[in-house]
Amino acid sequence: MTNTIKVQRAIKNITQEELAKSIGVSRQTINAMESGKYVPSTVLALKIAKYFGKKVEAIFELEIDD
């Protein structure tokens, strides 16, 4: 799964720490998602999308191997 969290943060000019506090996770969780080491739960993905005012599909993309 890929995501645009880092890009969305840059657009809003916020740090990983600020995003983490806003959605109730640690900065390390945001870092792990941005680096592709952690796939968020559905609830967390929805919180992130809501925070940025986007649809989940605008933030996260599922990569399927054919």
Residue 23 covered by a domain: yes
- What pLDDT is stored for residue 66 in this prediction? 66
The DSSP symbol for 63 reads -
Q: pLDDT band at 65, cuts 50/70/90?
A: confident
Residue 44 covered by a domain: yes
Q: pLDDT band at 4, cuts 50/70/90?
A: very high
pLDDT tops 80 at residue 56: yes
Residue 65 covered by a domain: no
Residue 66 covered by a domain: no
Residue 62 covered by a domain: no
The structural domain count of the chain equals 1
For residue 7, give its domain range: 2-55
Q: What are phi and psi of 16, to 5 degrees?
A: -60, -40
- What pLDDT is stored for residue 61 in this prediction? 94
Q: What CATH number should be reported for the domain holding residue 50?
A: 1.10.260.40
Residue 60 covered by a domain: no
The predicted-structure confidence for 10-45, as pLDDT tens digits, reads as follows 999 999 999 999 999 999 999 999 999 999 999 999
Residue 64 covered by a domain: no
Task: Name the residue among 11, 64, 26, 54 with its Cα closest to residue 40.
Answer: 26
